[in-house]
Structure 1
Amino acid sequence: MTGWLAIIGLAIVAFLAGLLLLKGHRQLWTLLAAVLVFGLAGYAWQGSPSYPAAPAEAMENGPQGNPALVDARREFFSEADVPAHFITVADGFARKGDFERAAQILQQVVAEDPDNGEAWLALSIALTEHARGRLTKPAVFALQRSYETLKDSPAPAFFDGVNALRTGDAPTARDIWADALAASDEDTPGHAFLAERVAGIDQLIDAVMAQQQGVTLPPVAPPAAPAAAGPQPE
């Protein structure tokens, strides 16, 4: 069961990443969901989610994390709300996958301006991405500070939901997002962006549940009966 939760969680995270990258192309969401569900169906038939995973070496080279999260963060701020200079500098490193350097710069920003909510949120994202999706104590602290300094913005809740998705807890993620939507006005920056993501995760969850209900084991013939010819039922 734990293996299935992890697989479904990975599918939801992949779908979330697709929503971030395919914003404005809603016609592709159904195709993306179909591809992921097809993969889940194949894994249900041939995979072994209950088996322990083999140890793997961590990748030391190449970019870390997901630079698209920088663009997602900016969805919750108006174009007139230009970020501080060093936040922009940190974003440049984050877009290249260097979240360690981004976090170092952002730590200096919040030290000098502890009321800068976007800096706290960017720091939480950078720390989480540098840890390859693991929510560390410093990242949790930075996220909490972003909640305190961005009281009228759904931005902290969005990334709180992203963190829940990464653990495979889609219901919690959806609840966080739905509560943030209900608490924010429609003209709040990021409200429409978050509403679309809620619709997207609902679409994927419905597709996964439908696929799970449709995946059944092939029937076993009675011992005395001869083997049936022809194609077997799916």
Structure 2
Amino acid sequence: MGWIILALLAALAFGALWFFVRPGKAGLQLLAAGILFACAGYAWQGHPDLAGQRRLPAEREAAAADSSFSAMRQEMLGRFDVADSWLTLSDSYLRAGDTQGAAQLLRSALRGHPNNAFLWIGYGNALVLHGNGLMSPAAEMAYRRAAVLAPDHPAPRFFYGLSLAQGGHLDEAERIWRDLLATSSPTAKWRAQVQAQIDLIERARAVAAMQRAQMGEGTAPGGQVQR
């Protein structure tokens, strides 16, 4: 299809220039050479055999690019192992806004590594992002599978709570994180990450309470605005 469009555009360009400009024989030769040069450049750099791909909304692309999982996973999960390689590749899909591709990639990785807890965590995260923050049954299953495979590791509970918080379930996320802190070693390096997420929830609640108070101050009983 790309070659057909290219040929039509070249013919239209040649015909329009010949009709309006009326170049001489030398001009026609120069014009034909220029169009052929442009076609050669397209054949070299373009991909006319590839199907078009629908662009995702900018908001969704930004959300995928700013995934908290991508920002925190290497500190929590480590790097330079088989899971990190797959998750890094999945991140490239997320940055492009292709959340479905990221989820499908990790599902394929899990066929070869079904007992890798970190891949299950990444799969759950990709499913949540693909669902625009919704914790689907498949995502829930992925996080639970990770918890079964790595019961002593903080990552399954931490990232499960993170997905819940991003979906607006702040109370449940805070409960999971506080329980994680209560059952972990006081010297664990990742405790600061967990506490930081709890602090964010507390600040969000404080801001919401302040906004409600400000709205209440401006409204008299009976719904009349005070002046």
Tell me which interval the TM-score lies in, with the shorter structure as reference length: 0.5 to 0.7
1:166 to partner: Cα distance = 4.4
Q: Distance in 2 between matches of 1:153 and 1:111?
A: 22
Q: Distance in 2 between matches of 1:196 and 1:178?
A: 11
Q: Which moved more, 1:160-169 or 1:84-93?
A: 160-169
Q: Distance in 2 between matches of 1:166 and 1:79?
A: 24
Residues 1:112 and 2:117 aligned together: no
For residues 212-227 of structure 1, the aligned pairs below 5 Å read: 212-216=212-216, 217-219=218-220
Letter in 1 for 2:64: N
Match of 1:29 in 2: none
Match of 1:123 in 2: 123
Match of 1:150 in 2: 150
CA offsets per residue over residues 157-190 of structure 1, 9 Å max, x none? 2232233334533222211111112222244453
For residues 1-234 of structure 1, the aligned pairs below 5 Å read: 60-62=56-58, 63-64=60-61, 65-67=63-65, 68-69=67-68, 70-79=70-79, 83-188=83-188, 190-216=190-216, 217-219=218-220, 233=227
RMSD of equivalent CA atoms: 2.7
What is the TM-score with the length of structure 2 in the denominator?
Answer: 0.62
What is the TM-score with the length of structure 1 in the denominator?
Answer: 0.60
> Would you say the 8 A contact 1:133–1:163 is kept in 2?
yes
Larger radius of gyration: 2
Consecutive unaligned residues in structure 1, runs of 5 or more: 1-58, 222-231
Match of 1:21 in 2: none
Describe the shift of the 1:66–1:114 C-alpha distance in structure 2 as closer, same or farther (beyond 3 A): same
CA offsets per residue over residues 61-120 of structure 1, 9 Å max, x none? 445443323122223123566734333222221232222111111112111111111100
Letter in 1 for 2:173: A
> Would you say the 8 A contact 1:106–1:122 is kept in 2?
yes
> Would you say the 8 A contact 1:76–1:189 is kept in 2?
no
Q: Distance in 2 between matches of 1:220 and 1:214?
A: 14
> Would you say the 8 A contact 1:75–1:189 is kept in 2?
no
> Would you say the 8 A contact 1:155–1:190 is kept in 2?
no
Q: Distance in 1 between matches of 2:64 and 2:152?
A: 26
